[in-house]
């Protein structure tokens, strides 16, 4: 582990280099200090694949413990003060008491995620279901979530649908589209006035013939129908191989309809791997589009940066800290891209030069900068190692081995 002096020496060299490149170091430092990443409650409890659930002895057993683990993640990283909840996995009797408990732990309730996919009644869909009474059931759930937002102070309803069909002729696409809009509108209208609905898409699964919200275009149309406070949520895992996600980011930003992210890493069909573990360059490129937006003084963008990962083979808090560190790294690298020089290279039709500018930033070791900012904030320069040394997992395992569990893997 590097000493404080070693970190300082590496930091000084990096700052000298960045200053020579014309980077506004103070601005970069400030933006990194302001970075916020939300973690998901479901990432702290037991979970699995459709082939099975693997229990971890230290996994959080209930909503309160999931909040505790999120708070520990925040204590170590300093940038993850909010937690997304999934209803009914996180359902409690007293929401005001849960909010107060979160306050005591030093975290807040983030996005509320309605669960419109687990009830047996949803076998043929939820908001698109052919039966009006099942659609009403899904509307009632959206209204329940709007109420939970009101009590917990959440300002985001994050909607993902498992709706789709498995066989040609099973249902009518256009009728399903109209049913979807009607039901989501009821949920949208019920939200607190300052809240946003983020509409997530996924190109397949669990339905395999067609999916009712398969891509960003469909989500965008739904949002345009719902109203100004409906925006698209990009889950980085929900795309076919080879999809250029940074292009989607740019397009939605330009339409003022990008509402947020569910970060994870997709390899084949799995969307639950650690963010940036396999495709750090993609994450960097996504962030360059976001930084360009931040640099625009007329920008109205309000992006919710959320992780959506349920780890099966990694200890959950470790995986969450790792993901956060990878996201910080991508943002830092995107911040040091000299966008003015990039523009010049583009105007000069200098294809190689433009690419080299991107590469130089992506190849820069920004770790000393991130470590220094952590030290300045009173944190350990390496949160993952600090967490491992803390003994939290061993303590949690001893306490949580037994006892009832709630949540999706229960």
Query: Is the CB of 171 or the CB of 308 nearer to Mn ion?
Result: 308
Binding site for Mn ion (CB under 5 A): 235, 262, 308
Query: Is the CB of 109 or the CB of 357 nearer to ligand PSV?
Result: 109
- In the list 65, 90, 212, 271, the residue contacting ligand PSV (rule: CB under 6 A) is 271
Instruction: Name the 3-class secondary structure at 397.
Output: helix
Rounded to the nearest whole angstrom, what is the least distance from the CB of residue 89 to ligand PSV in the complex?
9
Q: Name which of residues 123 to 162 contact ligand PSV (CB under 6 A).
A: 160
Cβ partners under 8 Å of residue 136, min gap 6: none
Rounded to the nearest whole angstrom, what is the least distance from the CB of residue 102 to ligand PSV in the complex?
20
- For residue 68, the surrounding DSSP H or E stretch is helix 63-77
113 binds, among Mn ion, ligand PSV, none (CB under 5 to 8 A by kind): ligand PSV
Query: Is the CB of 235 or the CB of 282 nearer to Mn ion?
Result: 235
202 binds, among ligand PSV, Mn ion, none (CB under 5 to 8 A by kind): ligand PSV
Rounded to the nearest whole angstrom, what is the least distance from the CB of residue 200 to Mn ion in the complex?
5
Query: Is the CB of 230 or the CB of 335 nearer to Mn ion?
Result: 230
* 311 interacts with ligand PSV by CB under 6 A: no
* 202 interacts with ligand PSV by CB under 6 A: yes
Rounded to the nearest whole angstrom, what is the least distance from the CB of residue 160 to Mn ion in the complex?
6
Dihedral sign from CA coordinates of 4, 5, 8, 9 = negative
Which is nearest to 324 in space by CA: 43, 87, 55, 67? Answer: 43
Q: What is the CA radius of gyration of the chain?
A: 22
- In the list 38, 90, 235, 318, the residue contacting ligand PSV (rule: CB under 6 A) is 235
Find the residue with minimal CB distance to ligand PSV: 160
* 201 interacts with ligand PSV by CB under 6 A: no
In angstroms, the CA 46 to CA 54 distance is 7
Which is nearest to 361 in space by CA: 71, 12, 69, 17? Answer: 17
In angstroms, the CA 20 to CA 24 distance is 10
Rounded to the nearest whole angstrom, what is the least distance from the CB of residue 132 to Mn ion in the complex?
28
In angstroms, the CA 21 to CA 42 distance is 42
Query: Is the CB of 113 or the CB of 371 nearer to ligand PSV?
Result: 113
DSSP code string of 94-159: -HHHHHHHHHHHT-EEEEEEE--SSSGGGGG-STT-SSHHHHHHHHHHHHHHHHHHHHHT--EEEE
In angstroms, the CA 350 to CA 86 distance is 48
H-assigned helices in 227-305: 245-254, 280-295
Rounded to the nearest whole angstrom, what is the least distance from the CB of residue 206 to ligand PSV in the complex?
9
* 200 interacts with ligand PSV by CB under 6 A: yes
Strands (E), 145-205: 156-159, 164-165, 196-200
Q: Name which of residues 98 to 117 contact ligand PSV (CB under 6 A).
A: 113
* 42 interacts with ligand PSV by CB under 6 A: yes
* 282 interacts with ligand PSV by CB under 6 A: no
Name the residues that contact ligand PSV, by CB under 6 A.
Answer: 42, 113, 160, 200, 202, 235, 262, 271, 308
């Amino acid at each position: 582990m590097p000493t404080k002096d070693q970190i300082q020496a590496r930091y000084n060299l990096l700052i000298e280099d960045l200053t020579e490149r014309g980077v506004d170091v103070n601005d970069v430092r400030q933006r990194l200090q302001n970075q916020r990443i939300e973690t998901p409650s479901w990432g702290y409890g037991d979970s699995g694949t459709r082939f099975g659930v693997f229990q971890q002895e230290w996994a959080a057993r209930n909503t309160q413990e999931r909040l505790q683990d999120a708070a520990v993640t925040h204590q170590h990283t300093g940038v993850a003060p909010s937690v997304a909840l999934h209803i009914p996995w996180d359902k409690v009797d007293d929401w005001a008491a849960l909010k107060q408990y979160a306050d005591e732990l030093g975290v807040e309730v983030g996005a509320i995620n309605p669960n419109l996919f687990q009830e047996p009644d949803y076998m043929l869909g939820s908001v698109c279901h052919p039966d009006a009474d099942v659609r009403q059931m899904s509307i009632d759930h959206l209204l329940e979530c709007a109420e939970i937002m009101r009590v917990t102070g959440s300002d985001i309803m994050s909607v993902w649908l498992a709706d789709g069909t498995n066989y040609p002729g099973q249902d009518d696409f256009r009728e399903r589209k109209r049913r979807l809009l009607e039901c989501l509108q009821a949920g949208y209208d019920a939200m607190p006035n300052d809240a946003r609905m983020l509409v997530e898409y996924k190109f397949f699964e669990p339905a395999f013939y067609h999916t009712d919200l398969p891509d960003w275009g469909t989500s965008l149309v739904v949002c345009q129908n719902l109203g100004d406070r409906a925006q698209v949520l990009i889950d980085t895992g929900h795309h076919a191989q080879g999809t250029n996600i940074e292009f989607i980011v740019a397009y939605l930003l330009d339409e003022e309809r990008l509402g947020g992210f569910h970060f994870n890493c997709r390899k084949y069909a799995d969307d639950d791997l650690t963010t940036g573990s396999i495709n750090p360059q993609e994450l960097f490129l996504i962030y360059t589009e976001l930084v360009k937006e931040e640099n625009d003084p007329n920008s109205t963008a309000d992006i919710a940066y959320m992780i959506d990962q349920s780890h099966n083979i990694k200890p959950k808090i470790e995986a969450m800290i790792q993901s956060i560190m990878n996201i910080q790294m991508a943002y830092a690298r995107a911040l040091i891209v000299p966008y003015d020089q990039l523009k010049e290279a583009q105007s000069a039709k200098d294809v190689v030069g433009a690419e080299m500018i991107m590469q130089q930033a992506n190849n820069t070791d920004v770790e000393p900068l991130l470590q220094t900012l952590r030290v300045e904030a009173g944190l350990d320069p390496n949160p993952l190692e600090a967490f491992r040394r803390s003994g939290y997992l061993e303590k949690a395992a001893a306490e949580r081995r037994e006892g009832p569990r709630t949540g999706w893997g229960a």
